[in-house]
Chains A and B, each alone.
Chain A
Amino acid sequence: MTVVPLPSWADPASTAPVFDIEHVLASIDTMAAQRPVAAQIVSVANSDDTSARALSRILASDVALASRVMKLANSAYFGMRGRVTSLQFAVTVVGFTTVRTMATVALTNLDDESRLPENFWDVTTSLALAASTLAPKFGERPQDSLCLGLLAQMGAALLHHNDPDGYEEILAEQPTFRGRRAAEMRRYGINSLRLTAVALEQWGFPASLTTPLKEIDDYRAMDGALLRAAFEVAARLTTEDYEEVPISRITCGKLVEDDLVPVMDQVRADADELRRAMLGESNEPDGSDDWVV
């Protein structure tokens, strides 16, 4: 029998998880049971024969989620200026993938900030808007990229939820997203983006959404380039004293620094409203708009 050499990185002794990933994955199932409407939306929204009417009918039974979809449809991001008055039309405006993404956010309790790592939504909205704004340059649909950005950090939230102390430690020690992923790999045997991909695959999200999550650290592959660029933008906007990585290096030369200037402006402009719509917060007159400078 021929013994085929194992891949060099596979060293069970050094990467042995200190933490049972099985437990985290099981928790996703529990969550789904707690939010049946959201779970149903996640399961139907992806099929080709889904209609806005069918989706809005299901959505109507989850008032909180429905109101968030309405709010998002009327947000500056979609430019409809309050013209969206019916839930069905709101579903049409934001698109099925976005509705599904919002359901997923609700399903995984990403809307409960008390159970999330600090700064989670600041990063997530920046990530989502940056991905959406940059998408055309990478030949991607901006809407899908927005969803990718919104969901990317779900794995991180799950890890934090299941191992708060351990994850806080990682956050404190690793200022960069890349560094965190390496640390996650060491501690949990899987990085947070990979964990997101697993969960999304389990719920039937398409490969176009999960592949970038898996390919994030392969700098030679274009598959993860858009998400890498989006993380870079998010880091520059949300991390203090951030040491910038040249954008051309992480995007296979697709972007140059000048490309980022309008993107950063756009992200700053829209981030707050997107965050409010996603979390179902009301518009507060306290000037929270200037959370980024």
Chain B
Amino acid sequence: MSVTISVPDDDLVPPEIVSTVFYSATVSDSLAILVAESVGGEQRLTWCNEGAVKLLGYGLDDVRSLALDHLFPSLGGGELKLLLRRERAARMTVPIRTASGAGIEAVVLTTPSPGGRMWTLRILATANEQEKALRATADAHERRFSALTERSPVPTLLSEQGMRLAHVNDAFCTLVGLRAEQLLGTGWINTIHEDDLDGVIEQVAAALDGDEVETQARLVRDDGSVRTTVIRFSHLFTPGVGAGFVGTIEDITDRLAYEAKLAHQANHDPLTGLPNRTLLAQYVAGRFRPGAGGLACLFLDLDNFKVVNDSLGHTAGDELLVEVATRLRATVRPGDLVARFGGDEFVVVCENVDEDAVVALAGRVSEALARPMRLGGVDIRPYASVGVTVQTAEHVAADELIRDCDIAMYQAKAGGKGRITVLDQQARAEARDKLRLIAELRDAIERRDITLTYQPIFNSVDGHPVAVESLARWTHPERGPISPATFVPLAEESGLIAGLGLLVLDETCRQLAEWDHLLGAASPPRANVNVSALQLDDNLPGQVAAALERHQLDASRISVEITESALMKDPTSARDVLQQLRDLGIELAIDDFGTGYSSLAYLRHLPVDCLKVDRSFVAEMAQGHPEIASAVIALAATLNLCTVAEGVETLEQAEELTRLGATYLQGFCLAEPMTGGHAAAWFAAHGEESR
């Protein structure tokens, strides 16, 4: 059969036959097929199809006389054997010489016949037009892509495998100050800060696995400077090759620096550069472990700072604060925090200390501060009152620690200046109790749970009731009645006095209007209202006028009682306020007269109508000492003022006071304080009686 093919009778052998003979290969004229035969140690071509004639340009006759190595000029020596294998098919990409002498690149597939002396050769030209076009398009794409990234201002990395880079753009080179050759492959890894490298590799691993990820990493420039960046990685897959990534880098160094600056400004005092209250709170909160202990705070308040500010000026005051900050920083242990709490207050926070150690530190601090410094030409010693708190099991929140040392500082201050006080359990309990009571008082005022009682005041001559004094009462739901001597000072300390004062004023007026409605002429002619020293400001006359207006009362129905000490705090402005009240037509009385240290000369100039003789002087009368009561009453008479004797407990006292010349009397033995309703009944009955 091989003879038939090698020496064919006809020029053409049907392709179907060739196909049958050579292992059922599908053959058509579009394929270039040749048959080669080994004759006498030399391989020659014996046949080819139309496809081969078209591709190579040789006629069929030319092919039959052609030596095989002429067709494959690059296969010299024994290499032809590589193509024509006896036992197996072979495949090779080789140039083929065509009839014109030009070479074409082609893949040659050879299949030996069973005898091992003949081969079919199939030729596939590789460089056809379509492929060329495809390759050109792909090349253009790649060029476009690389041009895009190369000129992009965004630093960009292109991985080839793993962490190895195939491409970096100019922007990245500029960012790290190195040339592309130094960065390709694994070179760029050296630019990543050692501490950030693990994180970057982790993200690269995620990106290679198909994720879109980003990480913050520092890059170390060629000159050693460090840039902080965000690197975003995207997965890149090349079919048949594997996975890589595209990385884009954003340099956030400047942004972070700006943010850090803002954060610093938000958390530090611009004058001393110390952490401020906000940072202090964060710092303590960050280290506070309930029940753990070991944390301690010092609260320092400069003594007489106001004096420095007022006498030497604010610049000197600032200078002092800066010096104090410097001394504090120099004195505390490394790792302790010094913060400016506000004004002339500083806080030091220490970790891992016991009470002895922190008290010792407070001592060192006080000593350091007390060293003399020259300020505005004057030598001063900045003493401080220091409150100390060490964390205990009772501290459940971080802010309690600072609050406690604040309390301790106030205790220190109260005990005399320049002292150190450690907050003890009782003081803490008291302080907390007070805080709770203040909150409850605030609620009570808001809900108008503060009630008023009214105690009648009598004319000493005819025994008729001429007025009532409004007395505020607070009945605590758990603690029961709380004395005004407790809650009024509390209201004054905690800024609740204005609300309390308004409540008393308004309720008194309302009650008067109600009595008028119920009793008509038998209604109490006047009500006395107590006003705190803190209420004694320009707002008071307006508030009184508004209350009277609201309840349609005449100004003569109200008398305002003010303590002597309140008047002495700022006598000039007190007098102005009193004058305004007086101008409204309101009577004024000085409460507790004789207990303060008012100048009698000054008293003469105050626009008051009445003095109240303090209950302590009335009580002394029972012990055989009527001297002071007598003197006060006489003084009032001399100044043309009327008097009210408070705290009259017995009829004997009433008689004695009447004898001494007291204008009015007020006390338990005459009438007890009553609620508004009881008072209405009392006055109604009294009106009947007197008629």
Contact = CB atoms under 8 A, between A and B. Distances in A.
B510 interface: no
Given A84-B205, A93-B161, A17 B77 contact: yes
B241 A143 contact: yes
A96 B166 CA distance: 16
Contacts of B180: 136
B208 interface: yes
Given A17-B77, A95-B242, 5 more contacts: A21-B81, A79-B164, A92-B242, A94-B161, A214-B74
Contact of A6 (B70, B78, B243): B70
B85 A25 contact: yes
B656 interface: no
Contacts of A50: 240
A202 interface: yes
B663 to A, nearest CB: 99
Interface residues of A, number: 61
Interface residues of B, number: 51
27 contacts: A1-B61, A4-B70, A6-B69, A7-B69, A7-B73, A22-B81, A25-B85, A29-B88, A73-B162, A76-B186, A78-B162, A79-B162, A83-B201, A93-B161, A95-B161, A96-B240, A97-B241, A97-B242, A143-B164, A143-B241, A189-B78, A198-B92, A201-B92, A201-B93, A202-B90, A202-B91, A214-B74
A133 B185 contact: yes
Contact of B78 (A17, A49, A73, A84): A17
A129 B353 CA distance: 60
Interface string B154-165: 000000111110
Interface in B168-191: 180-182, 184-186, 189
Report the 10 A-B pairs with minimum CB-CB distance, sorted nearest first.
A189-B78, A79-B163, A78-B162, A95-B242, A189-B77, A93-B162, A79-B186, A15-B77, A48-B240, A48-B239
B241 A79 contact: no
Contact of A52 (B61, B78, B242): B242
Nearest to B90: A202
B424 interface: no
A231 interface: no
* B70, B79, B88, B161 pick with most chain A CB within 10 angstroms: B161
A266 B239 contact: no
A189 B81 CA distance: 10
A107 interface: no
B161 A2 contact: no
Contacts of A29: 88
A89 B205 contact: yes
Contacts of A116: none
Interface string A26-52: 100100000000000000001111101
Contacts of A17: 77-78
Interface string A102-116: 000000000000000
A91 interface: yes
Contacts of A48: 239-240
A1 B205 contact: no
A interface, by DSSP: helix, strand, loop or mixed? helix
A136 B184 CA distance: 9
Given A83-B201, A96-B241, A189-B77, A198 B162 contact: no
A1 B79 contact: no
Given A76-B186, A77-B186, A21 B241 contact: no
Given A136-B166, A198-B92, A190 B79 contact: yes
B88 A10 contact: no
B74 to A, nearest CB: 8
Interface of A: 1-4, 6-7, 9-10, 12, 15-17, 21-22, 25-26, 29, 46-50, 52, 73, 76-81, 83-84, 89, 91-98, 132-133, 136, 141-143, 185, 188-190, 194, 198, 201-202, 207, 210-211, 214, 262, 266
A214 B79 CA distance: 12
Nearest to A262: B181
Nearest to A55: B242
Nearest to A195: B82
Contact of A141 (B160, B186, B205): B160
Nearest to A198: B82
A260 B242 CA distance: 29
A48 B82 CA distance: 28
A2 B101 CA distance: 13
B77 A2 contact: no
Contacts of A10: 69, 76-77
B209 A26 contact: no
B70 A190 contact: no
A288 B651 CA distance: 118
A46 B163 CA distance: 22
Given A48-B240, A136-B166, A201-B93, A83 B205 contact: yes
B197 interface: yes
Nearest to A14: B77
B577 to A, nearest CB: 80
Interface in B185-239: 185-186, 189, 197-198, 201-202, 204-205, 208-209, 239
Interface in B520-544: none
B570 interface: no
B563 to A, nearest CB: 80
Given A83-B201, A189-B78, A189-B79, A142 B164 contact: yes
Nearest to A4: B70
A211 B93 CA distance: 9
B62 interface: yes
A141 B201 contact: no
B20 interface: no
Contacts of B204: 80
A143 B81 contact: no
Contact of B166 (A4, A80, A142): A142
